[in-house]
Amino acid sequence: MSERDFRDVRVRVAENRFISGKLWFMRLEPLGSVPKPKAGQFLMLEVSSTYDPMGRRAFAIADYDDKSLWIYYDVVGRGTGLMSLFREGKEVRAFLPLGKGLFNYEGDRHLLIGGGVGLAGLTLLGKELRTLGKEVVFVYGAKSKEHLGMLEWLKREGFEYILYTDDGSVGRRGYVVEALRDFGKDWQISACGPYPMLKALYSQAKKTGHRLYLSLESRMACGWGVCLGCVIKSSEGKFLRVCYEGPVFNAESVRL
């Protein structure tokens, strides 16, 4: 059983707007005190008060301000479809903040690689690293221009970034994994995105010798370590709960 150091709070929808592609942005105001989230942590949001669909849905805490927590979400199924219908003022429950396995801050130069909405798992890290005086470059890739909706956040925050699209509609044509060629081994890599992207990064980082930390996604039912629905295997064959031992892991320590 896991130690419960998160809250189950009511949150009020303060903003919910479509950006582009499948991407939406939601700002949530917790109605009660919650611990300050750390980079890599996530929340489990109640998307329905019925059993259709069952369970809460996991979203990276992408950013926060004095009153609210921000999430970016892709509408991919029933739960996220219902979220896109939430009106301002709606109240739902959320577990937060969740996740104990977080990023590594060693080294002075950090390349943060996000695939699609996976960038939301890296934004707080970028801010924390910058506060520590580290050099930070974001690499952001997706199928095409309209799937790079988090560019608004990168621009507003003034981060240096490199864009990749599969179809070349903006930035470099190709895949984010190619960015590793342009950055020496002194750059530590943190990445979040679809599994094929993370696997490709892992094999490339093995060749280039970069240190790599991955924020993983897995189907989650509870989000706090009790249901074992999200387990993956460590490189030694032991079970790891993505929600509890993760979601961030040293790429060498897990089997992808």
Ligand X SMILES: Cc1cc2nc3c(=O)[nH]c(=O)nc-3n(C[C@H](O)[C@H](O)[C@H](O)COP(=O)(O)OP(=O)(O)OC[C@H]3O[C@@H](n4cnc5c(N)ncnc54)[C@H](O)[C@@H]3O)c2cc1C
Closest approach of ligand FES to the CB of residue 240, in Å = 10
Q: Which of 99, 223, 248, 254 touches ligand FES (CB under 6 A)? A: 223
Closest approach of ligand X to the CB of residue 180, in Å = 23
Q: Which of residues 193-222 bind ligand FES (CB under 6 A)?
A: 220-222
Closest approach of ligand FES to the CB of residue 176, in Å = 27
Provide the residue type at 14 as one letter: A
Q: Which of 9, 82, 92, 227 touches ligand FES (CB under 6 A)? A: 227
Q: 249 burial class (0-12, 13-18, 19+ CB within 10 angstroms)?
A: buried
Site residues for ligand X per CB under 6 A: 42, 53, 57-60, 71-74, 76-80, 117, 120, 217-220, 247
CB 113 within 8 A of CB 161: no
- To 5 degrees, how large is the angle CA 106–CA 41–CA 149? 95
Does the protein bind ligand FES through residue 112 (CB under 6 A)?
no
Kindly tell me which of 72 and 213 has the beta carbon lying closer to ligand X: 72
CA separation for the pair 138, 10 (Å, rounded): 33
Sign of the alpha-carbon dihedral angle for 154, 61, 218, 85: negative
Return the range that interacts with ligand FES (CB under 6 A); candidates 92-100, 133-141, 152-160, 241-249: 241-249
Please count the other Cβ atoms lying within 10 Å of the Cβ belonging to residue 143. 14
Kindly tell me which of 187 and 224 has the beta carbon lying closer to ligand FES: 224
Nearest to 60 by CA among 12, 120, 139: 120
Does the protein bind ligand FES through residue 121 (CB under 6 A)?
no
Closest approach of ligand X to the CB of residue 88, in Å = 20
Place of tokens 């809460």: 56
